[in-house]
Amino acid sequence: MNIAVCIKQTADTESRPTLSADRSRVEEEGLVWIINPHDESAIEVAVRLRDERGGTVTLLALGPDRVESALRQGLAIGADFAVHLQCDAMPDDPKTVAGALAHIISTRDFDLVLTGEVAIDGAGAQVPQRLGVLLNWPCVTGVEELKVTSDGLTARHPVEQGDEIHICNLPAIIGINRRIGEPRYPSFRGIMKAKRKPIEKEAAVLEFAQLRIESLALPASRSDGKILTYEDGVAARVVALLREEAKVI
């Protein structure tokens, strides 16, 4: 089974993003880069499926030069191949990203394509659904449990009213949620092997973006809270504050 995993390189969740002087972009300098956590779990799922059923795992990452380090990390987790879809800057419009990913996927032979459910930086939450429509493949996103057989799969997607259970044939697109399981730490051997694996490069085919960031802002941090030490009467005081000051109960 040949599996592709689309990975986005995102800023680490502990990073404190700052803005460019014209407030049009997040300053990339000083950010610590990681693989989008949902995508990292998708790599783990792919590597396990390959180990059980044979085949290959190919990583696809679109973005500027920096994304190569994400591909190296993914290879160290156990992927076999990596393709860097090159462009000057990370696109803001997920539609553009989905178009470029669909283009490369359609030129190769994959049985299963995994993505994350959502990228934690841009929160686009639409690439897997768009890929499904573009490739005319079945798509299930927000997947927290996945069973794959040689020609089909069963996937569980929690929604507000309960759990959706989807059954479909391959090839398919699956948007993975991190809750499916934590990825393994790359072994020393994995890291050393990843250094020698080649990264294929291809120019990304980018459509015209239709979603444009007009301006960015850093939301004001919350004003200093009232923090009290517990003793007699404190609970009643806080309840009174919630009623009269915050007016939330």
Partner 1 sequence: MFKVLVIAESSGSRLTISTLEVCRVASELSMLLGGHWEMLVDHQTEEAAGAIAPRVSSFDLREIAYPGPEMLSDIVAQVTKAVNLVIMPATSTGKDVMGRLAQKLDAPLAQDCMGFEVVAGRPVFKRALYGGKVTANVELSGKLTLVSFRPRAHAPIQQSDEFVKANPCMVSIPELMTAVKLQPKASSERPDVTEASIVVSGGRGLQGPENWYVLEDLLDALGPNAALACSRPVSDENWRPHSEHVGQTGRAVAPDLYIAAGISGATQHVAGIVRSKCILAINKDPAAPIFKVADYGIVGDLFEVVPALAAAIRRGA
Which residue in 102, 3, 106 sits closest to 45, CA to CA? 3
Q: Which amino acid is at 126?
A: Q
State yes or no: residue 89 binds partner 1 (CB under 8 A): no
State yes or no: residue 168 binds partner 1 (CB under 8 A): yes
Stretch near ligand AMP under the rule CB under 6 A, chosen from 46-54, 117-125, 187-195, 222-230: 117-125
User: Which residues face 9 on adjacent strands?
Assistant: 35
From the CB of 86, what's the least distance to partner 1, in Å?
23
Residue whose CB is less far from partner 1, 107 or 221: 221
Tokens of 91: 């696109």
State yes or no: residue 105 binds partner 1 (CB under 8 A): no
Distance CA 111, CA 138 (A): 12
Residues in contact with 86: Cβ distance below 8 Å, sequence separation at least 6, in sequence order: 64, 65, 201, 202, 203, 204
Q: Quote the longest CA-to-CA distance of the chain.
A: 70
From the CB of 119, what's the least distance to ligand AMP, in Å?
4
69 binds, among ligand AMP, partner 1, none (CB under 5 to 8 A by kind): none
Residue whose CB is less far from partner 1, 40 or 50: 40
7 binds, among partner 1, ligand AMP, none (CB under 5 to 8 A by kind): ligand AMP
End-to-end C-alpha distance for the chain, whole angstroms: 55
State yes or no: residue 124 binds ligand AMP (CB under 6 A): yes
Residue whose CB is less far from partner 1, 2 or 96: 96
Q: Which amino acid is at 107?
A: T
Secondary structure element (H or E) that encloses residue 147, with its range: strand 145-148
Identify whether the C-beta of residue 138 lies closer than 8 Å to the C-beta of residue 111. Answer: no
Identify whether the C-beta of residue 77 lies closer than 8 Å to the C-beta of residue 40. Answer: yes
Q: Cα torsion for 136, 142, 144, 147, to the nearest 10°? A: -10
User: Which DSSP category does 124 fall into?
Assistant: -
Binding mask 23-52 for ligand AMP (x = CB under 6 A): -------------x-xx-------------
Among 2, 46, 47, 137, binds partner 1 (CB under 8 A): 137
From the CB of 167, what's the least distance to partner 1, in Å?
5
State yes or no: residue 60 binds ligand AMP (CB under 6 A): yes
Among 86, 126, 145, 168, binds ligand AMP (CB under 6 A): 126
State yes or no: residue 32 binds partner 1 (CB under 8 A): no
Q: Which residues bind ligand AMP (CB under 6 A)?
A: 6-8, 36, 38-39, 60-63, 94, 97, 115-116, 118-119, 122, 124-127
